[in-house]
Chains A and B, each alone.
Chain A
Amino acid sequence: MKKTTILTSICALFTACSSNIQVEQTLSTHPAITPDYIGVTVPVNIAPLHFGVPDSCKVTQLNAIFRSSNKQVTVRGSHQIAPSASEWKELMQEADDSIQVCIQVEKEGKWKEYAPFPIYVKKDKIDSHLAYRLIEPGYEIWNEMGIYQRCLENFDESAILTNKMTGYGCMNCHSFHQYNPDKMMLHLRVDYGGTYLIDQGNIEKLNTKTPQTQYALVYPSWHTSGDYIAFSVNNTKQMFHTTDPNRIEVMDFASNVVVYDVKRHEIFTAPQLFSPTSFETFPNFSPDGKTLYFCSADSVAMPNDYKQVKYSLCSIAYDAESRTFGTQVDTLFHAQKENKSVSFPRVSPDGKYLMFTLSSYGNFSIWHKEADLYLADIQSREIRPMQTLNSADVESYHSWSSNGRWVVFSSRRENGLYTQPFIAYIDENGQAHKPFLLPQKDIQYYDKLMKSFNVPEFVSGKVQTDGYSISRTAKTSAGIDVTFHKN
């Protein structure tokens, strides 16, 4: 139990924090608020942070005083503090580098005041939208799922596409070219299966399974030019643990990396990316388009040796003009040497850093409680854990904002199963600040939600292509057969 120090005696009634509440106790500790926004760093254009105190505190009223340099806002609520959009915007704009929040609670007819806490405000804006899939963190079957977009400057959420519109099949791997809401791709599985490329409202359906690759395309990464997308091709299966807290093991029985030529409807690859003796996956183009990062592991007998699969972080040169790859594979992180496994390499937009997930083995890190985020300095090759971002539970899928100052990542720290999106500031030195949970209008939103936030990706605006048009293409178009081109 936390020790608290009572600074002022109960008898001394006085007014504090300039509110008109008669505070009877002033505590030197911070309140336990949910979500935990104490000391977090937020962008100036973020939606209001709504929060409350846990039910177990049994408070009857809450009062919060927000102060920035020239502005003070008082907000009262019975179960949550919800500053209005206009007041919040003013607070953010007036903040030099932080706002102070003083919380007062009424419990059993008496008001207590907690020590003020800061919310740090950065002038570096965050992209206006976040796209993600909402899906049950389930096993082999699913029900409703969809790819949604949320305006980060308010609480507006809308569906880009839901599987209600596409025969309840699976959909995944939405990805945007350079954060552009008008140029994106996603996959549909089962009914109307295919890869869908959307460019300025034009929707193209691709049949990406070829005799050479055997499986459909999976994890994508757009080339800077927008003319290519690197994909992995995975034969993925899942099994279920009896005792392990990780519940599910998802593993690749085979995988390779290929590049899709958007204009020619061809896929091509290189022997280093298409080796029968190793598993290659998670391609990621560098911002200059000259390097392709990917993960690679020696192939082993699956599923028996699933714990022996450890993915190294590798890179290979790529020349977009000639569609050719370098001959040398550079290894930034040696999995076998470090006895760890890399997944989801993502290079920062300035090309200085590469963030990835590190777990004990395998590549499906969302089911690995030990999975944490790491940052590699590409120049110095120094690799370090993102201590501020990591927790005792899973941290996995992550992506950079377009200005490279923010990352969004998935974490299961709250309840161990339902993934939630956290956003963190990364400064010029690659140091992460305390992350904050994506704010919601209703603070119980995450408690009630029976779905996980999956593949959170920043987008610079709202996706305008409607789900109806995508579903019409899915249902009416036979699709373009992608061919495999041997270099």
Chain B
Amino acid sequence: MKISIPKPLDLFVAWMFTFIAISSFFYIMGTYNFCYLEQWHTFVYDSSYITHTLKQPGGFAQLMAGFLIQFFHAPIAGILITAFLLSAIFLLMARILKRWTGDNRLWPSALLPVIALAFMHFNTNYLYEGTLAFLLMLVGLTFHLRIRNTISRFIYSLCYTVFLFATAGSIATLYVILLIIMEVFISPKKSVVYLFLILVVYLLAQYALWEGWFGEWKHTLLADAYFTRRLPAGSAIHLPWGISIGLFLVGGLFRYLPNKPNLNRIWLITQGIVVGIFLYQGAPQYISKDNETFKELTCLIDNGQWDAIIDRCKDIPMTNLLHQNCLNLAFAEKDCLLQELKHYPNIGIQSLFISGNKTPYISALLNDIYFSMGHISFSQRYAFEANESMGGFSPKLLKRLVQTSLVYGHYELAMKYIQILEKTLFYQEWAKAQRAFLHNDSLLEADPILGAKRKCIFPDNRFAGNMGLDKDLEEILKQNPSHHATEQYLKAIQKFIGTNIPRP
């Protein structure tokens, strides 16, 4: 098989094919994956927020990630935008390998880092800027190979290393490693000078540590930077980097391997098999169906799509506590929790509300459940903690904090959160509408949601949950007998009393 230089049309077709394939993959594996991500981050159109972010190493990538994530409000937007980025990565990677090795034999393998990055996107702790950083790095490598003069190429590499560290963070390490591999295979003697870039990256990392932008070496030099920094990233985060390094090492060998047309079909098939195996083996390993269902249910809760939740749960085995929590929340809102309990394999009170484990994901769900119960103080607490854990700009949770502050009549506080949401693209209208409730008790009390929740605040103050959540709910119900969700939850709890009661 003869490999020819792709024409622009071929490139477009290749990119289009990849884009459609990745979009389909995301759609099939987790339609709501990116929508769920948007619940945790939004972009605040504020100069000081932007300036502050840009000042940190990797700030540009972080800012761009935030900018893109705001559009994930619609599930399909996240899929298309991410597929666009990943297909661009594929195209750039394939072109770099082709230009460097001199032929197209390795193009199927360019899919491997793309697949690894796609897997990472299903991990809620993966930071979206990791993919943008990867793209920026490939842009740098693409231009690097276009410079023929050795000295100019080195000067460019030096400048781009610094630029990359400043704008995208630790990806500069991978950039330097790949550069060295490329240069070693181009000219082993001249490549020695590229070792200087290791020192540059080290010094940049050390400076970032001194300045307190990062606390750990791994966050300045490794892929760990693109994972929630409070948690250990594990090995999966290194997959895209590791595969890229491996691919370039193989690419180096290919430079010396004669291009025999009769062997090319074998190379192509072999690579196709490797890509297929990686996809087949990796998908179940890195994508949890349970998690994706939870993300979907959470997004439906956000929109109050109770019937959709109930319908969705008919198609899945209801053995997961988080799914049970979501379904029971929908039942409570539909005033049929008690009668539906027996139809599902609920194991006890944990099926109604899971124990708080201090993670933002569980806290956010608990915030929804307690809001439904009419237990405003707990709802506020979990909304606050979840929002705080994720950096303070979760639109979903800021909305809830506006609501709970309004319910309590803490109008100045509500105003603070409203002002932040007013600086977002997709929540400003909602936020502006909430201004009407500020210092307007009669309007608030007439509102079907806020009014009903305010009536749930009972006069006999106590420590929340201290006497048992059922006792709190009894008080809420006494205060607001028409709040059916409270009644539903209370009766459900009473039915389960004696089983394992989690700490609220």
B385 in complex: contacting residue of A140, A249, A468, CB < 8 Å: A140
For B463, give its contact among A159, A303, A416 (CB under 8 Å).
A303
A168 and B412 form a contact (CB under 8 A)? no
Q: Are B458 and A167 in contact (CB under 8 A)?
A: no
Closest A residue to B412 using CB positions: A415
| Contact partners of B210 in chain A: CB under 8 A | 466, 468
- Which of B381, B420, B463, B466 contacts A139, CB < 8 Å? B381
Say whether A245 contacts B410, CB under 8 Å: yes
Shortest Cβ distance from residue B143 to the other chain A in the assembled complex, whole angstroms: 33
Most buried by B among A159, A168, A240, A242: A242
Are B388 and A168 in touch, CB under 8 angstroms?
no
Closest to A138 in B: B388
Chain A nearest CB, measured from B475 CB (Å): 8
Interface of A is mostly: loop
Whether A241 sits at the interface, judged by CB under 8 Å, is yes
- Give complex CA distance A242, B468 in Å: 12
Q: Are A245 and B209 in contact (CB under 8 A)?
A: no
How far is A245 from B209 in the complex, measured between Cα atoms in Å?
Answer: 41
Give chain A nearest CB distance to B356 CB in angstroms.
9
Cβ–Cβ < 8 Å partners of B420 in chain A = 448
Decide yes or no whether B278 CB sits under 8 A from chain A: no
CB pair B378–A240 under 8 Å, yes or no, is: yes
Let me know if B419 is at the binding interface, CB within 8 A. yes
Q: Give residues of chain B (456-500) contacting chain A, Cβ–Cβ below 8 Å.
A: 457-466, 472, 475
Check B238 for interface membership: any CB of A closer than 8 A: no
Count A-B pairs with CB separation below 8 Å: 112
State which residues 226-244 of B face A: CB under 8 Å.
229-230
A143 near B212 with CB under 8 A, answer no
**What residues on A are CB-neighbors of B466 within 8 Å?**
239, 303
Cβ distance B24 to chain A, nearest Cβ, rounded Å: 36
- B384-416 contacts to A, CB under 8 A, are 384-385, 388-392, 408, 410, 412-413, 415-416
A165 contacts which chain B residues (CB < 8 A)? Answer: 209, 212, 214-215
A233-258 vs B: 1/0 string, CB under 8 Å?
Answer: 00000011111110101000000000
**Chain A min CB distance to B110 (Å):** 35
CA distance A466 to B413 in the complex (A): 35
Cβ-defined contact, A139 with B461, below 8 A:
no
B358: Cβ under 8 A from any A Cβ: yes
Q: In the assembled complex, which residues on chain A have CB atoms less than 8 Å from the CB atom of B385?
A: 138-141
Chain A: which residue is nearest B475 at the CB level? A242
Q: Do B209 and A468 have beta carbons less than 8 Å apart? A: yes
**Is the C-beta of A136 less than 8 angstroms from some C-beta in chain B?**
yes
Q: Which of A132-153 contact B (CB under 8 A)?
A: 136, 138-144
A79 to chain B, nearest CB (A): 12
Q: Given A141-B389, A243-B459, A245-B410, do A164 and B214 touch, yes or no (CB 8 Å)?
A: yes
Within 8 A of A (CB), among B342-387: 358, 375, 377-378, 380-381, 384-385
Query: Is B212's CB under 8 angstroms from A243's CB?
Result: no
The CA of A233 and the CA of B157, in the complex, are separated in Å by 56
Contacting pair B212 A159 (CB below 8 A):
yes
Q: Is A417 an interface residue (CB 8 A)?
A: yes
A241 touches B384 (CB 8 A): no
Inter-chain CA distance A147–B377, complex, in Å, is: 29
A242-B392 in contact (CB<8A) = no
**A303: which B residues are within 8 A, CB to CB?**
463, 466
B415 to chain A, nearest CB (A): 7
Contact of A240 among B49, B416, B457, B464 (CB under 8 A): B464
Bound CA–CA A474/B245 (angstroms): 35
CB-CB under 8 A for A468 and B388, given A242-B458, A243-B377, A448-B46: no
Q: Which residues of A contact B377 (CB under 8 A)?
A: 240-243, 247
Bound form: Cα–Cα A329–B215 in Å: 46
Q: Which residues of A contact B212 (CB under 8 A)?
A: 159, 161-162, 164-165, 466-468
CB closest residue in chain B, given A306: B463
A177 to chain B, nearest CB (A): 24
- In the complex, chain A residues whose CB is within 8 Å of the CB of B384: 136, 138-139
Interface residue ranges of B307-339 to A (CB < 8 Å): none
> Are A417's CB and B230's CB within 8 A?
no
Would you call A140 and B358 a contact (CB within 8 A)? yes
Given contacts A138-B384, A241-B464, A416-B410, contact A448 B472 (CB under 8 A): no
> Are B463 and A243 within 8 A (Cβ)?
no
What is the bound-complex CA distance between A445 and B49, given in angstroms?
10
**Residues of B with C-beta under 8 A to A247:** 377, 380
B48 at the interface (CB under 8 A from A): yes
User: Max chain B CB contacts within 10 Å: which of A245, A249, A417?
Assistant: A417
Partner of B388, one of A142, A245, A466: A142
Question: Using an 8 Å CB-CB cutoff, how does the interface string of A178-209 with B read, 1 for contact, 0 for none?
Answer: 00000000000000000000000000000000
Query: Given known contacts A139-B385, A448-B46, is B413 in contact with A415 (CB within 8 Å)?
Result: yes
Chain A, range 102-159, C-beta contacts under 8 Å to B: 136, 138-144, 159
B416, A241: Cβ atoms under 8 Å?
A: no
Please give, as numbers and ranges, the residues of chain A lying within 8 Å of B388 by CB-CB distance.
136, 138, 141-143, 450
Cα(A116)–Cα(B49), bound, Å:
34
Q: How far is the CB of B427 from chain A (nearest CB, A)?
A: 16
Q: Is A66 an interface residue (CB 8 A)?
A: no
With both chains docked as a complex, state the minimum distance between the C-beta of A397 and any C-beta of chain B, in angstroms.
20
B380: which A residues are within 8 A, CB to CB?
247
Residues of B within 8 A of A (CB): 46, 48-49, 209-210, 212-215, 229-230, 358, 375, 377-378, 380-381, 384-385, 388-392, 408, 410, 412-413, 415-416, 419-420, 457-466, 472, 475
7 A-B pairs with CB atoms under 8 Å apart are: A136-B388, A138-B384, A164-B229, A240-B381, A249-B463, A448-B46, A448-B49
In the complex, given contacts A139-B384, A164-B229, A165-B212, what are 11 additional A-B residue pairs having Cβ atoms less than 8 angstroms apart?
A: A136-B384, A138-B388, A140-B358, A142-B388, A143-B391, A239-B464, A242-B457, A242-B464, A242-B472, A245-B410, A448-B420
Query: Which 7 residue pairs across A and B have the least CB separation, nearest first?
Result: A165-B215, A243-B461, A450-B392, A239-B463, A415-B412, A244-B461, A164-B215
